[in-house]
Amino acid sequence: MELNSSFVFISVNYKEKQLNLSPKQELEKIKRWCAYQERSHNEARIKLQRTGLKEHEIEVILSELISENFLNEERFAKAFAGGKFRIKHWGRVKIKMDLKKHRVSEPNIQMALDSIDETAYKNTIQQLAEKRLKTSGNRHIALLKASVYRYLTAKGFESDLVMEQINTTFDTHES
């Protein structure tokens, strides 16, 4: 078998370009980036490290961003938790794990989780359980329960609340 020699393979390097901006220019650039949406301290640090700035310049820029309120860990944690819950329907367990990946402090994680409305949280668990039950088909009840349990725990909901909801959901459907 002969290869067609008309094909040309091009290797593209997708590495981020370094523009070698001054620290002052980088500060202005990252201020615009932070103003666009809430960012964690860790995200900002990583972005600055990729620019090739020295560590002490990064620290100066980060402290200025914090003092000018472009970075606020508490505000980030609340926005992150609220958004992941409302939009992606994540539970507290998954939100907490992701906030830890962003290196958010434990008190701010707890405050963000506490800001989620308990009634809305339980309603979301109920809606997701009902939705999963409808899409699971006509299977044995034990398989249905296992399917709903795996789905809700994978979404990050606490196992005790999931079991409570499964029992409630199956009690109402069996009656």
Q: For residues 149-164, b (16+ Cβ closer than 10 Å) or e, as one string?
A: bebbbebbbeeebbee
pLDDT in tens, the chain (175 residues): 455 544 444 444 444 455 678 888 999 999 999 999 999 999 999 999 998 889 999 999 999 999 999 999 999 999 999 999 999 999 999 999 999 999 999 999 999 999 999 999 999 999 999 999 888 777 788 888 999 999 999 999 999 999 999 998 877 665 4
d(CA 157, CA 68): 36
pLDDT of res. 12: 42
For the chain, the domains span: 23-71, 74-114, 118-174
Tell me the CATH class for 23-71.
mainly alpha
Q: Using the 8-state DSSP alphabet, how is residue 175 labeled?
A: -
This prediction's pTM = 0.81
3-state secondary structure 12-39: CCCCCCCCCCCHHHHHHHHHHHHHHCCC
pLDDT of res. 39: 95
pLDDT of res. 89: 97
